[in-house]
Amino acid sequence: MVRKLALRWIALCLALVLATSLLYAGGGKEKGPEAKATQPVKWTANSVWPPANHHTVGLEEFAKKVKDATQGKVELLVQSGGALGYKGPELLKVVRDGLVPVSDMLTSGVAGDEPLFGVVTLPFLIQSFQEGKVLNDIARPYFDKAAEKWNQKILYIAPWPAAGFWTKKEIKSVADMKGIKMRTYDKNGALVVQAVGGTPYPLPFSEVYSALATGVIDSVLTSTPTAVDAKFWEVLKFYVPANVTMATNLVTVNLKEFAKLDKATQDALLKAGKEMEEAMWAKVAQLDKEMEATCNKNGIVTIPPSKEFLNDLSKVTKQIREDWLKTAPEDARKIVQEFGKKVGRE
């Protein structure tokens, strides 16, 4: 009798253990989707620029802003310095295909795939940093439409300081530029130098300092951060902030990945992007001034271009812009027309 009672007791205990196990197992299945839903979405955010570059620093700041704005639902994991192996021109396709969910990319750098993006670096279209912002604001809705065609959404657009002339001799007019030997970094820059009667030298940046020191060239077309990096004050004397071109960068997200977020999180992400865009434009304007001040402190003399000089530069490079617009998308022509009206240069 005692043995039977003991066996029954053991059987009852085993049944209770089994029932409890099944209950918890079932509860785990019930809680599984809910637990999964609370996990943050983690997106790799690509940057080809070095960690200290202002665009990479901005992307890191944006990552913090996104995490706060979405209450931790979205996290950006920034990979800088080209760590993912992408060089730049292919990034529009990379984000489109979901190889990287988020990336920073040079706007004109991906114009080979989307010609509309080339409008931002038309030479002498703008005459000041402020006009660069005006151009960006006018172009933004057209760019948004173009980005969606490439299966992505623009989160924010940030500028580079505008490119100017760094020279050995004082330059105050187009006539002063005749015969100049200037290092350029792209096709438009070379066309500008040719238009003013100079000779463009498409040298690698690593060769610029020695070329200046030995007299192979006597000037450089670039922006203030580059001038500081190269210590131009050791080989050059003057800087003309002529706003030849002002490049921008796009930060985009794959549209399918974006669509997976709930509406509130999407709105928070876009709001963070808008705030970041405003912050980056303000930051770069200040960066430009700081870099110019560093050059001045070390001996470079800034020569502000006169309105007449800028207008003359715009006139002699008009054909460059017109030739580009002949084959550009219709939206590019609309952007340029709207911009011309806005700044009073129709």
- Does residue 105 sit within a domain? yes
User: Above pLDDT 70, what percent of the chain?
Assistant: 89
Is the predicted pLDDT of residue 338 greater than 60, yes or no?
yes
Q: Report the pLDDT averaged over residues 60-87.
A: 96
State the pLDDT at residue 185.
83
- Does residue 180 sit within a domain? no
Tokens of 298: 């070390």
CA distance 60 to 138: 27
Q: Write the pLDDT tens digit of every residue in 4-46.
A: 544 455 555 555 444 444 433 444 433 444 334 468 999 999 9
Residues 6+ apart with CB under 8 A from 65: 272, 275, 276
- Does residue 317 sit within a domain? no
**204 or 159, which is more confident:** 159
Q: Write the pLDDT tens digit of every residue in 118-154.
A: 999 999 999 889 999 999 999 999 999 999 999 999 9
CB 114 within 8 A of CB 121: no
Give, for 155, the enclosing helix (H) or strand (E).
strand 152-159
State the pLDDT at residue 204.
81
Q: Write the pLDDT tens digit of every residue in 238-251.
A: 999 999 999 999 99
Tokens of 131: 């006009």
At 191, the pLDDT band (50, 70, 90 cuts) reads very high
- Does residue 21 sit within a domain? no
Q: The domain spanning residue 140 has which CATH number?
A: 3.40.190.170
Q: How wide is the angle at C-alpha 78 spanned by C-alphas 73 and 83, nearest 5°? A: 145
- Does residue 168 sit within a domain? no
Split into its structural domains, the chain has a count of 1
- Does residue 254 sit within a domain? yes
Which pTM value belongs to this model? 0.80
Buried b (16+ CB within 10 A) or exposed e, 78-107: bbbeeebebebebbbebbbeebbbbbbbbb
Q: Which domain holds residue 76?
A: 39-160+246-296
- Does residue 303 sit within a domain? no
Q: Per mean pLDDT, which range of 34-48, 142-156, 212-226, 323-337 is the poorest?
A: 34-48
At 50, the pLDDT band (50, 70, 90 cuts) reads confident
- Does residue 3 sit within a domain? no
Nearest to 66 by CA among 280, 255, 252, 269: 269
State the pLDDT at residue 176.
97
Tokens of 343: 């700044």
Q: Write the pLDDT tens digit of every residue in 256-265.
A: 999 999 999 9
Q: Report the pLDDT averaged over residues 154-160.
A: 97
- pLDDT mean across residues, the chain: 89
Q: Report the pLDDT averaged over residues 32-61.
A: 82
